């Protein structure tokens, strides 16, 4: 008995294993049946996709919590639009991408199902059979991957994903519409608005699936916000707010809506939007900014109430960290009321009381600097701009203007401040002692008050730092604490300091405050030791030893300290003596003060004219010098700029008076020579072109040894273009010509002049090396200077007896080639040639992308065009290029063209020279016949788009992953041979044979013939009442023909319903035969059970419910692949 039980148990065990094996093999991705589709969808959703979705949610939560918006400008619709927040949640998004890729690699079903229906294919059938993906849930994995890439800021990768997805699911309108919406978002966030517009234009609203409308509302809102069409963005923003499931994100969107209303001048709507923000109970920072914004959009005439409300906010302890924003809002209200002084006072209060060094303070300083700039208080403007530069993002639209103004003020402010100070001191010298002391006391009182406020602010910030636990930084300087706090918080997390542009800019500002503007060179703190600076300075400190130099510096420091001790009262800004010592009482002091005034007025006047184009201020400054200080040593320069100023003001009569003064008082001035030159007006119009042409001919004459011509042209340059752009080159070439004619002293004199007058010139370094060599005892010798020797240059010198070279030039013609233009950079305009060549490539070769690169060859330049797949292509390109006049006109007579393979180019300059290759080319390539077929109209690659390879890349990436493909690993290969033995019906095995796969190629031929099946596309939406007329089933073949004829003239809903019933019964009847309706289940219908359209994809799922009573349907459809489930799966993110 026990033996029988054991035998029975063993039999049951083997049977179960066989059944499990059959199920696993039948549900493999290599099979495409209803069961395999259901199983792969189930596995995708509740295994890999679930973990990826959780990682996506975690990353989105991290980004939502850590995001910091800049409320001084329009906030972005998506938090990824804030560059400082892009790195938040990156690790979780990477995990979500990895999980999505694994789901795609493991569960993708690409094999087409077998067609076993005994009827003609409808359009719906053809679309279903021609799909590229048959896992009904896998589109969500693609969507998860693309959205994760988008939210981590990898917009290009996300665009590639959504572009591929839109191609894969083009036949499923809902998924296709969602993918195209996200593709447009990727383009928008990258700033590719033209590409986004193209996607939007091709996705018309009337052809959009209703299930994709929600996603497109977001896309349209984002697009119009980026293009600045705010009025068009409003209705879509309102829809987005209705769609939004996340409360915090809804509060952000309401705030954005309020900002848009405010920008459009709709104050009442903006106020209500900001009020809705407050009602949503958002984070405190957002609520605070909403209340601030409310005060700025309140109705006109309520400025007092607004200011009162802001003062109450400033008094609240909760707003201590936001005082800069409170006072900034006050200043804006005063500006709206045209009270500039009150606005400046409010901004200054915000500047003093700011406890954060963030964007908000930067915007405040920017507006304050603009007011000072408009008021022509350039010293104050410089301080504001310098500090604002380190706080604002470089991507701001007004950052370039801010940077330009800061650079101008770096030059201007020292002169204007000096003029203002000396005017004030001279005015104090003229006052009575009582008035003078009262003025000084006011200055001292203001200084003490300022210091006390700064000390209190410092103590407050240190206390806040201690309370927040600043990781041991309690005792550090306030400025460094602020910078560290900005860097260590939300902006960059743990990234390196120099990857944070804001922190770098702050460091630059701090450095300039300590050391001033300095050149970006190594060892900047040491004395300049270049060859140019050495000349004429034989007793410079760098010739001393470090010990000697240190002893001198210590002695000087000791002497200074003694003087400071003796004059301690004069060095204390809290004492009257400090200020009295600066007031010019004596004649000598007054003369020294006037010197400072003369210099400041002169240089500031020139900057006003040339850099700011402010002729009014320039005239006032320069006229004050010419009228009040006639003995100024640079008066000729003042007269020259006054002449130019009045010519620009179109007052030639006044200009001529200053020209007369200049020529009479300073006849030997360079400005007199320039203005009295008969060619002066011609030089103004064509001087640059004339000088360039003269230098080109001079250089050619120098190379050919015509030294007399060189000397003559150098004299013309000195006479006509004493301040020309090529003057240093004329001097250098003229000096070398003197050397070749035997005048070594004349050459040395010219080299010294180059170094002295043009220390920053590239050629002055060469001149300095020559001078230093002579001073070191070397002798100058003449010799021909020929840059064309580079043509014969090679590093490896081989004797004629070498019969075998290690590397030989290759005569292969069907390998990659390059086209080269080799020329002297001084013989042509390189940028113009580059532009014309690039335009030639772009306009003539639409399907090819040729790259252009310029390299230096020790004096010669090489312009390289790459992208040719053979010698014939490069030859056809060269022939077409030299037929283009616009390009050829930019080449010089000495420009040489070379066609060379990549393989041979590596040998040039080492084993072979260009001259060697020229001989090789004439022997091996010149005799070749080039094909007459035009090759450059063919694309370089057959498959250039990135998208078609995306799925293949994912599969290759995880091809060796042992955790993937468990079906193939767990089930032995031989098990597939046992399945037919266990199942009596062998028909299910037949679909895997290769002959039946060929049936799929018959689909295109069947699509063209019937035009009657258009009504079948409406089958699924109208399926609900198609249950009662079951007796009509046996007459299906005849009825369908009649119904399709009727459908051509009038496609009524009833015809669609009956047609639907005829299609559905073959798949559902076999399961109902043992229960209710045996008369409706003939045995011949069993052929269609395997592959009927039982499992529906997201956009095909029927809405009828009665047919789900069948057990098989309950088993095969527990997953409802609803398109709208996506946001719910991801908790609204």
What pLDDT was estimated at residue 589?
Answer: 87
Pairwise CA distance, residues 207 & 216, whole Å: 12
Q: Is the model's pLDDT at 183 over the cut of 90?
A: yes
1000-1013 residue pLDDT tens? 333 333 333 343 34
Sheet with 851-857, side-by-side order of all strands = 851-857, 860-868, 817-823, 896-901
Confidence of residue 353 (pLDDT cuts 50, 70, 90): confident
Q: Is the model's pLDDT at 819 over the cut of 90?
A: yes
Among 223-232, 628-637, 1030-1039, which is the least confidently predicted range? Answer: 1030-1039
Average model confidence (pLDDT) across the chain: 74
What pLDDT was estimated at residue 428?
Answer: 87
Q: What is the DSSP string of 67-101?
A: ----TTSPPPSSGGGSGGGTTTTHHHHHHHHHHHH
The tokens for 335 are 């500006």
Residues of the chain with pLDDT > 90, as a percent, come to 20
868, containing H or E segment? strand 860-868
Residue 153, Ramachandran bin (φ over 0: left; ψ between -120 and 50: alpha; else beta): left
Q: Is residue 743 part of a domain?
A: yes
Q: What is the mean pLDDT of residues 542-563?
A: 59
We report the CATH number of the domain holding residue 817 as 3.30.70.1070
Q: Which of 532, 550, 577 is the last residue of a domain?
A: 577
651-684 residue pLDDT tens? 999 999 999 999 999 998 888 888 887 877 777 7
Residue linked to tokens 């993708």 = 108
Confidence of residue 1113 (pLDDT cuts 50, 70, 90): very low
Q: Is the model's pLDDT at 950 over the cut of 80?
A: no
Residues 689 and 609 in one domain: no
We report the CATH number of the domain holding residue 710 as 1.25.40.10
380-416 residue pLDDT tens? 999 999 988 888 888 788 888 988 999 999 999 999 9
Residue 823, beta-bridge partner list: 861
Three-state DSSP at 10 gives: helix
Q: Which of 144, 115, 108, 109 lies closest to 129 in space, CA to CA?
A: 115
Residues 821 and 900 in one domain: yes
Confidence of residue 13 (pLDDT cuts 50, 70, 90): low
Among 118-127, 150-159, 648-657, 1002-1011, which is the least confidently predicted range? Answer: 1002-1011
Q: What is the mean pLDDT of residues 56-72?
A: 88
Q: Which of 905, 924, 943 is the last residue of a domain?
A: 924
Residues 763 and 715 in one domain: yes
The tokens for 467 are 């309370």
Show Cβ contacts of residue 302 under 8 Å, excluding neighbours closer than 6 positions: none
Q: Is the model's pLDDT at 245 over the cut of 60?
A: yes
Q: What is the mean pLDDT of residues 262-279?
A: 91
Q: Is the model's pLDDT at 565 over the cut of 60?
A: no
Return the top range by mean pLDDT from 354-363, 557-566, 791-800, 944-953.
Answer: 354-363
What pLDDT was estimated at residue 517?
Answer: 57
Q: Is residue 399 part of a domain?
A: no
Q: Is residue 227 part of a domain?
A: no
Pairwise CA distance, residues 109 & 138, whole Å: 9
Q: Which of 577, 599, 623 is the last residue of a domain?
A: 577
Confidence of residue 1030 (pLDDT cuts 50, 70, 90): very low
Q: What is the mean pLDDT of residues 466-482?
A: 47
What pLDDT was estimated at residue 932?
Answer: 82
Q: Is the model's pLDDT at 874 over the cut of 90?
A: yes
What pLDDT was estimated at residue 223?
Answer: 94
Residues 623 and 695 in one domain: no
Q: What is the mean pLDDT of residues 497-503?
A: 48
Rg, Å, the chain Cα set: 42
Q: Is residue 620 part of a domain?
A: yes
Residues 905 and 831 in one domain: yes
In terms of residue numbers, what domain contains 557? Answer: 541-577
What pLDDT was estimated at residue 391?
Answer: 86
360-386 residue pLDDT tens? 888 899 999 999 999 999 999 999 999
Confidence of residue 1049 (pLDDT cuts 50, 70, 90): very low
Q: What is the mean pLDDT of residues 828-833?
A: 87
Confidence of residue 794 (pLDDT cuts 50, 70, 90): low
Q: What's the angle, vertex CA 1112, arms to CA 1087 and CA 1106, rounded to 5? A: 105
580-603 residue pLDDT tens? 888 888 888 888 889 999 999 999
Confidence of residue 955 (pLDDT cuts 50, 70, 90): low
Residues 785 and 831 in one domain: no
Residues 671 and 696 in one domain: no
Q: Is residue 771 part of a domain?
A: yes
Q: Considering only residues 461 and 565, tell me which one the structure prediction assigns the higher pLDDT.
A: 461
Q: Is residue 140 part of a domain?
A: no
Residues 1033 and 1105 in one domain: yes
What pLDDT was estimated at residue 260?
Answer: 94
Is residue 100 within 8 Å of 122, Cβ to Cβ?
no
Q: What is the mean pLDDT of residues 193-201?
A: 90
The tokens for 282 are 């958002």
Pairwise CA distance, residues 476 & 269, whole Å: 47
Q: Is the model's pLDDT at 899 over the cut of 60?
A: yes
Q: Is the model's pLDDT at 968 over the cut of 90?
A: no
Q: Is residue 761 part of a domain?
A: yes
Show Cβ contacts of residue 548 under 8 Å, excluding neighbours closer than 6 positions: none
The single-letter DSSP state of residue 322 is: G
Residues 738 and 811 in one domain: no
434, containing H or E segment? helix 433-468
676-723 residue pLDDT tens? 878 777 777 787 888 888 889 998 888 888 888 999 999 888 888 888
Q: Is the model's pLDDT at 554 over the cut of 90?
A: no
Residues 835 and 918 in one domain: yes
**CA dihedral (186, 190, 196, 199) positive or negative:** negative
Residues of the chain with pLDDT > 70, as a percent, come to 67
Q: Considering only residues 1108 and 43, tell me which one the structure prediction assigns the higher pLDDT.
A: 43
Q: Considering only residues 782 and 85, tell me which one the structure prediction assigns the higher pLDDT.
A: 85
Residues 776 and 874 in one domain: no
Residue 901, beta-bridge partner list: 817
What pLDDT was estimated at residue 939?
Answer: 58
Q: Which of 954, 1131, 1115 lies closest to 50 in space, CA to CA?
A: 1131
Confidence of residue 502 (pLDDT cuts 50, 70, 90): very low
Residues 1037 and 1097 in one domain: yes
1071-1084 residue pLDDT tens? 333 434 444 444 44
Q: Is residue 1096 part of a domain?
A: yes
Q: Is the model's pLDDT at 186 over the cut of 90?
A: yes
Q: Considering only residues 794 and 1039, tell me which one the structure prediction assigns the higher pLDDT.
A: 794
Q: Is the model's pLDDT at 740 over the cut of 70?
A: yes
Q: Alpha helix locations (H) across 971-1052?
A: 975-982, 994-997, 1003-1008, 1036-1049
Give me the number of domains the chain comprises: 6
**What pTM was estimated for this model as a whole?**
0.59
């Amino acid at each position: 008995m026990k033996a029988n039980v054991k035998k029975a148990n063993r039999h049951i065990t083997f049977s179960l294993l066989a059944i499990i094996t059959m199920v696993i093999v039948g549900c493999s991705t290599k099979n495409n049946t209803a069961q395999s589709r259901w199983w792969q969808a189930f596995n995708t959703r509740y295994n890999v996709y679930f973990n990826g979705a959780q990682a996506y949610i975690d990353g989105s939560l991290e980004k939502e919590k850590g995001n910091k918006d800049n409320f001084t400008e329009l906030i972005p619709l998506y938090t990824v639009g804030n560059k400082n927040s892009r790195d938040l949640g990156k690790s979780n998004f990477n995990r979500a991408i990895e999980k999505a890729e694994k789901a795609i690699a493991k569960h993708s079903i690409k094999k087409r199902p077998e067609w076993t229906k005994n009827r003609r294919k409808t359009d719906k059938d053809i679309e279903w059979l021609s799909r590229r993906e048959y896992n009904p849930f896998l589109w969500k994995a693609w969507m998860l991957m693309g959205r994760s890439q988008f939210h981590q800021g990898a917009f290009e990768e996300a665009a590639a994903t959504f572009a591929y997805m839109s191609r894969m699911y083009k036949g499923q309108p809902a998924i296709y519409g969602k993918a195209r919406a996200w593709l447009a978002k990727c383009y928008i966030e990258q700033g590719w608005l033209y590409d986004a517009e193209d996607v939007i234009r091709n996705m018309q609203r009337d052809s959009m699936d209703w299930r994709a409308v929600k996603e497109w509302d977001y896309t349209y809102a984002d697009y119009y916000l980026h293009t600045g069409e705010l009025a068009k963005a409003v209705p879509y923003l309102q829809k987005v707010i209705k769609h939004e499931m996340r409360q915090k994100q809804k509060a952000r969107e309401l705030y954005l809506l309020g900002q848009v209303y405010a920008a459009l001048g709709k104050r009442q709507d903006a106020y209500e939007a900001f009020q809705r923000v407050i009602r949503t109970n958002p984070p405190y920072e957002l609520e605070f900014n909403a209340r601030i914004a409310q005060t700025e959009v309140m109705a006109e005439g309520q400025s007092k109430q607004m200011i009162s409300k802001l003062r109450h906010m400033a008094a609240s302890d909760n707003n201590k960290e936001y005082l800069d924003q409170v006072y900034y809002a006050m200043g804006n209200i005063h500006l709206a009321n045209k009270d500039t002084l009150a606005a400046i006072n409010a901004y200054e209060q915000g500047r003093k009381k700011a406890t954060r060094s963030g964007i908000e303070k930067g915007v405040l300083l920017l507006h304050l600097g603009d007011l000072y700039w408009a008021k022509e208080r350039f010293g104050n403007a410089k301080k504001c701009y310098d500090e604002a530069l380190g706080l604002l993002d470089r991507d701001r639209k007004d950052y370039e203007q801010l940077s330009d103004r800061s650079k101008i003020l770096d030059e201007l402010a020292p002169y204007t401040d000096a003029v203002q100070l000396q005017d004030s001191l001279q005015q104090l010298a003229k006052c009575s002692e009582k008035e003078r002391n009262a003025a000084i006391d006011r200055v001292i009182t203001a200084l003490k008050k300022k210091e006390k406020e700064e000390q209190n602010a410092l103590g407050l910030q240190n206390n806040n730092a201690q309370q927040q636990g600043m990781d041991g930084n309690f005792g550090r300087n306030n400025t460094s604490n602020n910078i560290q706090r900005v860097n260590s918080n939300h902006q960059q997390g743990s990234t390196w300091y120099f990857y944070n542009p804001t922190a770098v800019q702050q460091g630059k500002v701090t450095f300039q405050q300590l050391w001033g503007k300095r050149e970006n060179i190594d060892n900047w703190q040491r004395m300049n030791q270049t060859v140019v600076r050495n000349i004429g300075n034989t007793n410079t400190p760098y010739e001393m030893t470090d010990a000697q130099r240190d002893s001198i510096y210590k002695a000087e420091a000791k002497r200074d300290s003694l003087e400071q001790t003796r004059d301690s009262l004069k060095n204390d800004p809290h004492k009257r003596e400090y200020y009295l010592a600066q007031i010019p009482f004596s004649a000598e002091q007054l003369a020294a003060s006037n010197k400072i005034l003369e210099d400041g007025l002169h240089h500031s006047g020139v900057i006003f004219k040339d850099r700011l184009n402010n002729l009014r201020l320039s005239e006032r400054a320069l006229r004050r010098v010419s009228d009040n200080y006639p003995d100024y040593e640079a008066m000729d320069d003042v007269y020259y700029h006054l002449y130019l100023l009045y010519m620009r003001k179109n007052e030639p009569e006044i200009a001529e008076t200053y020209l007369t003064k200049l020529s009479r008082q300073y006849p030997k001035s360079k400005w007199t020579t320039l203005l009295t030159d008969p060619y002066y007006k011609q030089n103004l119009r064509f001087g640059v072109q004339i000088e360039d042409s003269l230098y080109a001919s001079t250089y050619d004459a120098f190379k050919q040894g015509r030294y007399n011509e060189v000397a003559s042209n150098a004299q013309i340059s000195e006479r006509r273009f004493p301040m020309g752009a090529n003057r240093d080159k004329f001097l250098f070439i003229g000096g070398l010509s003197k050397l070749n004619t035997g005048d070594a002293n004349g050459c040395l004199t010219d080299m010294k002049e180059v170094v002295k007058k043009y220390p920053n010139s590239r050629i002055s370094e060469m001149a300095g090396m020559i001078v230093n060599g002579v001073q070191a005892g070397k002798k100058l010798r003449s010799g021909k200077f020929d840059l064309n020797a580079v043509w014969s240059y090679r590093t490896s010198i081989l004797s004629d007896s070498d019969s075998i070279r290690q590397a030989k030039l290759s005569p292969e013609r069907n390998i990659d080639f390059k086209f080269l233009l080799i020329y002297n950079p001084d013989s042509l305009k390189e940028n113009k040639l580059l532009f014309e060549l690039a335009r030639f490539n772009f306009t003539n070769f639409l399907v090819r992308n040729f790259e252009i690169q310029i390299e230096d060859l020790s004096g010669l330049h090489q312009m390289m065009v790459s992208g040719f797949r053979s010698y014939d292509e490069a030859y056809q390109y060269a022939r077409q290029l030299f037929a283009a006049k616009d390009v050829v006109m930019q080449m010089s007579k000495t420009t040489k063209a070379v066609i060379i393979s990549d393989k041979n180019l590596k040998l040039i300059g080492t084993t072979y020279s260009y001259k060697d290759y020229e001989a090789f080319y004439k022997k091996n390539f010149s005799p070749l016949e080039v094909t007459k077929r035009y090759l450059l109209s063919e694309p370089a690659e057959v498959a250039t788009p990135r998208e078609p390879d995306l799925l293949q890349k994912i599969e290759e990436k995880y091809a060796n992953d042992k955790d993937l493909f468990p079906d193939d690993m767990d089930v032995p290969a031989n098990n597939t041979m046992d399945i037919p033995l266990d199942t009596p019906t062998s028909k299910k095995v037949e679909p895997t044979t290769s002959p039946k796969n060929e049936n799929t190629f018959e689909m295109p031929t069947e699509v063209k013939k019937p035009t009657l099946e258009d009504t079948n596309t409406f089958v699924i939406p109208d399926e609900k009442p198609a249950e009662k007329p079951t007796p009509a089933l046996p007459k299906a073949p005849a009825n369908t023909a009649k119904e399709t004829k009727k459908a051509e003239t009038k496609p009524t809903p009833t015809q669609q319903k009956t047609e639907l019933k005829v299609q559905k019964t073959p798949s559902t009847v076999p399961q109902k035969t043992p229960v209710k309706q045996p008369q409706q289940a003939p045995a011949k219908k069993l052929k269609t059970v395997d592959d009927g359209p039982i499992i529906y994809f997201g956009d095909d799922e029927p809405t009828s419910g009665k047919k789900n009573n069948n057990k098989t349907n309950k088993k095969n459809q527990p997953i409802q692949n609803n398109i709208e489930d996506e946001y719910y799966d991801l908790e609204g993110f």
